[in-house]
Amino acid sequence: MKDKKLFPILLLLVFGFNYFAQSQPNVRTSAWNYYKERQFAKAKEAIDKASTHELTATDPKTWYFKALIYLSIASSNDSVLRSSTADPITETFEAVKKSREFDAKKAFYTDNNAVLKELTLLLYNDGTDKYNLGVINLTTNPSLSNLNFNKALTRFQQFIESFAMMGKDSMGVVLELARYQVDAKNVYYYAGNCAYQTGQKDKAVSFYQGLVNAKFQGFEVYANLADIYFERGDTTRAFTVIDKGKKVNTDKNVLKNLDLKELQIYQLAGKMDELKNKLEAALNEDPNNITFLVTLGETYYTISEKLAEEKKTAEADEYWNKAMNLFLKSLEKTTDADKEMRFLLNNKIGTIYYNKGADYYNQAIDKANESREKELKDLYSKYFDMAIPYLEKSMELNPADKAAIPLLIKIYLLKGDMKKVTELNKLK
């Protein structure tokens, strides 16, 4: 998600137009002279007066001068000068718009576009700076992260508007960005991410959909847009977006992640048959993919639970066994580098065995099953015993996770092993 600040901004634009040389004893002329002398604080004071005076407030030249002066302030390395105005970048942008508004003859069209070119580069730099701060604080300080994402979004929106205002001259910005191997469409990508992260989903859709239409490559655009459509109940459109992403991307990691996103949507949508078919096909091509194995195992397990609710016991048991076989197979394929996956699988397998044992235990204490008491006791003892090594291994792999402790305590209480119960209680 992060990007680097790319290039310095030109500090001063001086144009040798003959009308600048016409010395007039007025505030606007003073502002221009201060600007040429790089006395930007004084230039700012003078142009602020000129922009509110009835004789100069509707003159495009006044606002063009103001844009030049505020651009220099915004670009300055002098932090005191920059802080003399709350937002010199926006002041520059608004000044150009005012100059355009009063410039019916387009006398300053080219000059204003020169300002806009420098401004768009400044907007890009400032936007990416704030975007990167948003990314850095995403997990550590979400409120600060949102603040920076919102500030970045403002800059990217101003960039897009400035870019549009430049007309054919905007190609200069494209070429300048290209010098630093930056695609101008990245602005829409960052803007979309900012809107997405701050919950402005309508804006995110607008930015992302434009990128999808432009066949933009990458994962987040397609994944985030699919998530938004899914949240809105439009599962068909979510799958369409993922499909478009697969068609335009060539990077193997991106394609793999898009496959996973598609599977996630199938899972969340409860489309278990489609998910099962997709995963089985994926495993035919990549039989050692642990993520696919685990996900298919979870799918089989979900199908098993659904069948059990429908009292289809034989089919439920079949899918339960399929699920467990895949979980066990996945665990066998993990390496020392997969510590987190090993923990999750041990915990999952142990918990499923425990739940199976608990189900038989509940049947055993039901008086209606009195005739099957010994059979049911043997079954719950069997599955509780099977659960123990996996639950204990999960505790060993992640001592901070306490989820296995109460399950093990219940098992050892039934077994009458009070020493183990005491040891486990100390670990709570």
Task: Write the pLDDT tens digit of every residue in 5-25.
Answer: 554 444 444 443 434 333 333
DSSP string, 360-416: HHHHHTSGGGGGGHHHHHHHHHHHHHHHHHHHHHHHHH-TT--THHHHHHHHHHHHT
User: Rounded to an integer, what distance in angstroms lies between the CA atom of residue 360 and that of residue 349?
Assistant: 17
Portion of the chain with pLDDT greater than 90, in percent: 90
Q: What is the pLDDT of residue 336?
A: 86
Which pair of tokens denotes residue 120? 């768009």
Looking at the chain, the whole-number percentage of residues with pLDDT higher than 70 is 94
Angle at 394 between CA 390 and CA 399, to 5 degrees: 150
Q: Phi/psi at 200 (nearest 5 deg)?
A: -90, 70
C-beta neighbour count of 103 within 10 angstroms: 18
Mean pLDDT calculated for residue range 153-169: 97
Q: Check if the beta carbon of residue 97 is closer than 8 Å to that of residue 115.
A: no
Range of weakest confidence among 25-34, 65-74, 193-202, 417-426 = 25-34
pLDDT attached to residue 2: 54
pLDDT at residue 90 in the model: 97
Residues 6+ away with beta carbon under 8 Å from 124: 6, 155, 159, 177, 182, 187
- Contact by Cβ (8 Å): 405, 428: yes
Please report the pLDDT score of residue 18 as a whole number.
38
Is residue 137 scored above 80 in pLDDT? yes
What local confidence, expressed as pLDDT, does residue 47 receive?
96
Query: Is residue 371 pLDDT above 70, yes or no?
Result: yes
What is the pLDDT, as a whole number, of residue 9?
43
Confidence of residue 26 (pLDDT cuts 50, 70, 90): confident
When pLDDT is cut at 50, 70 and 90, the band that residue 1 belongs to is low
Question: Of 126, 229, 118, nearest to 166 (Cα)?
Answer: 118
List, for residues 219-264, the tens digit of each pLDDT value.
Answer: 999 999 999 999 999 999 999 999 999 999 999 999 989 999 999 9
DSSP 17-36: -GGGSS--SSHHHHHHHHHH
Structure confidence at residue 33 (pLDDT): 96
Q: Which pLDDT value is given to residue 21?
A: 33
Nearest to 218 by CA among 176, 179, 261, 175: 261
The confidence band for 86, taking pLDDT boundaries of 50, 70 and 90, is very high
Average pLDDT over residues 78-103: 96
Q: Where are the alpha helices (DSSP H) in 140-234?
A: 142-165, 171-179, 186-197, 201-213, 220-231
pLDDT tens digit string along 318-370? 999 999 999 999 999 999 889 999 999 999 999 999 999 999 999 999 989 99
pLDDT at position 190 is 98
Q: What is the mean pLDDT of residues 154-175?
A: 96
Residues 6+ apart with CB under 8 A from 174: 184
Residue-wise pLDDT for 111-131, tens only, equals 999 999 999 999 999 999 999
Average per-residue pLDDT for the chain:
92
Predicted pLDDT at 5: 53
Intra-chain end-to-end CA distance of the chain, in Å = 39
* Tokens, residue 360: 């038989």
Quick one: average pLDDT of 388-402?
97
